[in-house]
């Protein structure tokens, strides 16, 4: 029992807590992981809207062959900026930095992350990195037009502002490393009493795997970008073939990071789904250890498959075959997760609230994205569909249909806990269906036209592709509308939504639902003690479950 005196750090919600700094400084200088998470939430989603705008305008350009609304150079810059923003500023930091920050300490029963000040630093690095990357739009020379992959030799030769974009990406990588490092140490050192590794919720497992990739893979892209920057600034010969360099080596180094990075993006989303599925089917998760280890399995195998991005770049056939085989192997731990989620649903008491809708859509869209990934992993097929819009469709299905929907799922799931407000369920459900329909209209035609030979990143196309491009563009209108409705729903909920102090909105069994809503500064009135597994529905485990002492 706590003593009877009123204490603002455990009795008042973190939103109302008055620390050393007041007002805006109370947010910008706060080291509270929950406030930092909200800083991330608003900045990440703002960048998402910018990226969405670029994507929307690109789609509009492609509604008809030839010039529609922009010139080819602008189009090149748009797909580059769209990629840089969506990847480095939205999907990579999205889940770990927003929900990892907010909920990792909560699900572990900890008062904060291991290094709170480092946590705030990582947000500042994120903002600085984002600003530097976007400055290239306004500098003379024009925005970067290399594609988000910065392939040499073009990135060494183009006169556009490649350097700010690369410096921005480097700083963002640093931010990502700091977050990952913080989470690894947090998971090792800050777990509540009694919470063994196998009593951790699966979201923490997925963050654990993610954080290791962030720590181990990000330095490689950091140094690669630095080398290209040196090459541009000082004319050092490293990758430029005219100076004896090997551009394919650049591609290797780039993908050594950037392929594991796609698992940085998808793993935490899988973690969110693993949290939501048991809650909304009122069943203990099926195959806890398999899901936990499959995260590590994905992280491990995912680090060994990078060269499947380079089947047409001129590697030896032996290397290509090995990388193709390893690519197929990644499908195993991914499928383990999908089967376990479906097995959890089996005979469950399923309620289709918005978080669950997003989770189910995740399984559906991710499965399509995953299977089409296997198609491209097959060496002979990849030679035909490499660099077509098939690949664009594939990675939007896994990155947007997977991670994007995972972020939205998490937002709908945890929003009441974060803000102590309820959002409009009907609007959320409507926005979900519109998003789901718009998404498939937008991206599915890309599979077809890619299969028929429509190259990616092309400004113009042959008339026979018109119908697919048109459907895709119509889909983008629905999708953008749905996203705006969803965000509008949240914003109005934050401003005037019905207040709720119900600790357990959905009937979850993990620790974040045991504290008050919204949580106090120190998260729990009393440090929780864990005595059982994280998920326990409909069996004796319920009574034997963890209890706060």
Where do contacts with other proteins occur on this chain (CB under 8 A)? 1-3, 5, 7, 9-11, 111-112, 114-116, 118, 177, 181-182, 184-185, 188-190, 215-216, 218-220, 222-224, 226-227, 230, 234-238, 243-246, 249, 253, 256, 521-522, 525
| Closest to other proteins by CB, 224 or 367 | 224
| Closest to other proteins by CB, 249 or 544 | 249
Which residue(s) pair with 499 in the sheet? 421
Q: How many residues does the chain have?
A: 549
List the alpha helices (DSSP H) in 378-424: 379-385, 389-398, 405-419
Q: Shortest gap between Cβ of 109 and other proteins (angstroms)?
A: 13
| Closest to other proteins by CB, 159 or 242 | 242
- Residue 76 burial (CB count, 10 A): 21
Q: Shortest gap between Cβ of 379 and other proteins (angstroms)?
A: 23
| Closest to other proteins by CB, 66 or 234 | 234
- Residue 543 burial (CB count, 10 A): 9
Q: Shortest gap between Cβ of 254 and other proteins (angstroms)?
A: 11
Q: Shortest gap between Cβ of 146 and other proteins (angstroms)?
A: 20
Q: Shortest gap between Cβ of 222 and other proteins (angstroms)?
A: 6
- Enumerate residues 6+ apart whose C-beta is below 8 A from 339: 287
| Closest to other proteins by CB, 221 or 338 | 221
Q: Shortest gap between Cβ of 195 and other proteins (angstroms)?
A: 16
Residue closest to 312 by CA, chosen among 303, 304, 301, 324: 324
| Closest to other proteins by CB, 21 or 189 | 189
* Axis crossing angle, helix 33-61 with helix 72-84, rounded to the nearest 10: 160
| Closest to other proteins by CB, 191 or 283 | 191
Extract the tokens encoding 466.
């018109």
Q: Shortest gap between Cβ of 74 and other proteins (angstroms)?
A: 32
C-beta of residue 418 within 8 angstroms of C-beta of residue 36: no
Give the Cα separation of 143 and 162 in Å (integer): 8
Strand ranges in 325-438 using DSSP code E only, listed in sequence order: none
Burial (CB count within 10 angstroms: exposed 0-12, middle 13-18, buried 19+), residue 532: middle
Burial (CB count within 10 angstroms: exposed 0-12, middle 13-18, buried 19+), residue 53: middle
Residue closest to 256 by CA, chosen among 295, 224, 212: 224
Strand ranges in 338-403 using DSSP code E only, listed in sequence order: none
Q: Shortest gap between Cβ of 1 and other proteins (angstroms)?
A: 7
Cis? peptide before 520, omega within 30° of 0:
no
| Closest to other proteins by CB, 114 or 449 | 114
Q: Shortest gap between Cβ of 119 and other proteins (angstroms)?
A: 12
Give the Cα separation of 215 and 185 in Å (integer): 12
Q: What is the CA radius of gyration of the chain?
A: 23
């Amino acid at each position: 029992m706590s003593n009877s005196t009123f204490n603002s750090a455990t009795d008042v919600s973190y939103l109302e807590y008055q620390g050393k700094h007041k007002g805006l400084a109370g947010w910008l200088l706060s080291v509270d992981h929950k406030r930092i998470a909200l800083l991330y939430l608003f900045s990440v989603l703002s960048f998402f809207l910018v990226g969405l705008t670029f994507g929307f305008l690109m789609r509009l350009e492609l509604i008809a062959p030839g010039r529609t609304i922009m010139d080819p150079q602008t189009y090149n810059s748009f797909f580059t900026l769209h990629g840089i923003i969506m990847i480095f500023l939205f999907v990579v930091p999205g889940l770990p930095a927003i929900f990892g920050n907010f909920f990792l300490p909560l699900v572990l029963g900890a008062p904060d992350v291991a290094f709170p000040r480092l946590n705030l630093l990582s947000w500042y690095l994120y903002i600085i990195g984002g600003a530097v990357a976007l400055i290239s739009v306004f500098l003379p020379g024009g925005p970067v037009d290399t594609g988000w992959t910065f392939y040499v030799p073009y990135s060494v030769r183009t006169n556009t502002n490649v350097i700010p974009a690369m410096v921005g990406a480097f700083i963002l990588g640093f931010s990502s490393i700091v977050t990952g490092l913080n989470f690894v140490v947090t998971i090792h050192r800050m777990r509540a009493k009694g919470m063994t590794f196998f009593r951790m919720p699966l979201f923490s497992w997925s963050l654990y795997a993610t954080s290791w990739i962030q720590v181990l893979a990000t330095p490689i892209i950091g140094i690669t970008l630095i080398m290209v920057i040196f090459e541009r600034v000082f004319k050092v010969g490293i990758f430029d073939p005219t100076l004896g360099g090997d551009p394919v080596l650049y591609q290797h180094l780039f993908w050594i990071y950037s392929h594991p990075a796609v698992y940085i993006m998808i793993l935490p989303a899988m973690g969110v789904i693993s949290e939501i599925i048991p809650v909304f089917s009122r069943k203990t998760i099926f195959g806890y250890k398999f899901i936990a280890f499959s995260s590590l399995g994905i992280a491990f195998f995912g680090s060994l498959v990078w060269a499947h991005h380079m089947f047409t770049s001129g590697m030896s056939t032996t290397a290509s075959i090995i990388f193709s085989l390893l690519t197929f192997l990644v499908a195993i731990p991914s499928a383990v997760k999908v089967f376990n989620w479906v097995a959890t649903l089996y005979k469950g008491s399923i309620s289709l609230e918005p978080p669950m809708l997003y989770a189910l859509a995740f399984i559906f869209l991710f499965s399509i994205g995953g299977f089409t990934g296997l198609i491209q992993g097959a060496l002979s097929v990849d030679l035909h569909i490499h660099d077509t819009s098939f690949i664009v469709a594939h990675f939007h299905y896994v990155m947007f249909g997977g991670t994007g929907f995972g972020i939205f799922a998490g937002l709908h799931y945890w929003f009441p806990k974060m803000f102590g407000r309820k959002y409009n369920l009907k609007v959320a459900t409507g926005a979900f269906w519109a998003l789901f329909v718009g998404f498939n209209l937008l991206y599915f035609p890309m599979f077809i036209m890619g299969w028929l030979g429509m190259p990616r990143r092309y400004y113009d196309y042959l008339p026979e592709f018109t119908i697919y491009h048109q459907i895709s563009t119509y889909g983008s209108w629905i999708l953008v509308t749905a996203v705006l409705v969803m965000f509008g729903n949240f914003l109005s909920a934050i401003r005037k939504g019905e207040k709720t102090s119900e600790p357990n909105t959905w009937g979850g069994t993990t620790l974040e639902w045991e504290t008050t809503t919204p949580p106090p500064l120190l998260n729990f009135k009393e440090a929780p003690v864990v005595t059982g597994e994280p998920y326990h529905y409909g069996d004796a485990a319920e009574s034997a479950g963890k209890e706060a002492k």
